[in-house]
Amino acid sequence: MLFIQALFPYRGAVNLADKALLMFNSLFIAAGILANLGFEEIGLDLYVVLVLAAISIYLWWRHGSQPLFIYYGTAYVIGLFATLAVKVFGR
């Protein structure tokens, strides 16, 4: 989906309210990532989340504020940082 967004970018303006709603909604995905990685044994899924986070942040930086880049970039980065906090400080 990220690559499709890069191939067919949203032509309208993504204003501040749109970004705020996308980021708020992405907190639910971040919570799912935290539940998956933070409270179970971490396996291959950590690497998948890291790769997807890197791809989405790179595409956001390269192609600008596209809705899916904002959504996935925010979700994966917050999910990873929340997982790090739980793994380092939670036990």
Closest CA to 88 of 38, 27, 45, 36: 38
Mean pLDDT of the chain, nearest integer: 93
CA pseudo-torsion sign 72, 75, 77, 79 = negative
Mean pLDDT, range 43-65, rounded to an integer? 93
pTM beyond 0.85: the answer is yes
The yes-or-no verdict on residue 23 having pLDDT over 90 is: yes
